Amino acid sequence: MPHDHSDHDHPHALLPPDPALRVKALETILTRKGLIEPAALDEIIDTYQNRIGPQNGAQVVARAWTDPAFRADLLRDATAVVADMGFYGRQGEHIVAVENTPEQHNMVVCTLCSCYPWPLLGIPPGWYKSDAYRARAVREPRRVLSEFGVELPEDTAVRVWDSTAEVRYLVVPMRPAGTEAMDAAALARLVTRDSMIGTGLVTAP
């Protein structure tokens, strides 16, 4: 069986130790060699700072709360349904929506890296990528939830989704009581990023 040659060759050690200088050196090398145009880097940063973020997923959740046919379609084939809303692309090629109920709470982690539904939620927060979350969410989800201030009823089961493939999971949180008069746009403003990862609940204003 071939051995993994990468174990014996770590050229990154040739770069300066300071991370800011490492990044700067790589950027200089790649742009000077004509491999990457500098404006392409600004485009990526602008996209994930200003255009793609959890407001996208919040629109999906609010629509699921207010449109039963949409909710049924979302739970059957989320990829197609959210693509129709314009939410598709890198790190969101295969989406599955999982719905919280009084019987079952869903929570998403990627123990092996940091897989996350970028077109719906943007780039992940630091805690999602942290060793603590990756290590503990699968083994003690309730204790992790308590660190987010979430206490579930004793008869609610927790289902933790470890994103080990290219399928990205969106949690559809429960609609809070007292929001019956609100329309989808107002509801979307209540839906937090963490509630769509499953580490938060949505509360009425």
Partner 1 sequence: MTRVHDMGGRYGDGPVRPEPQGVPAFAADWHPRALALTVAAGGLGKWNIDMARHAREALAPRDYNRFAYYEKWIAALADMLVSEGLVSRAELTDGQGAAPGPEGPAAGPVTVQKVRQMIANGAPADRAASAPARFVPGDRVRTRRPAANLFVDGGHTRLPQYAAGAEGRVLRVHGSHVLPDRSAHKLGEGAEPLYAVAFAASALWARPEHPRDEVVLDLWQSYLEAV
Decide whether 64 or 107 has the Cβ nearer to partner 1.
Answer: 107
Q: Which residue has the tokens 């629109």?
A: 59
Whether 110 sits among the annotated catalytic residues: the reply is: yes
Q: How far is the CB of 184 from partner 1 (least distance, A)?
A: 19
For residue 123 the two structure tokens come to: 């780039």
Q: How far is the CB of 69 from partner 1 (least distance, A)?
A: 21
Catalytic residue among 110, 146, 163, 195: 110
Report helix, strand or coil for 180. Answer: coil
Whether 115 sits among the annotated catalytic residues: the reply is: yes
Q: Quote the DSSP letter at residue 138.
A: T
Catalytic residue among 6, 113, 130, 195: 113
Decide whether 134 or 175 has the Cβ nearer to partner 1.
Answer: 134
Catalytic residue among 114, 146, 163, 195: 114
Nearest to 174 by CA among 191, 157, 186, 158: 191
Neighbour-count burial of 121, counting CB atoms closer than 10 A to its CB (0-12 exposed, 13-18 middle, 19+ buried): buried
Nearest to 100 by CA among 3, 191, 172: 172
Q: How far is the CB of 47 from partner 1 (least distance, A)?
A: 6
Decide whether 39 or 181 has the Cβ nearer to partner 1.
Answer: 39
Active site residues: 110, 113-115
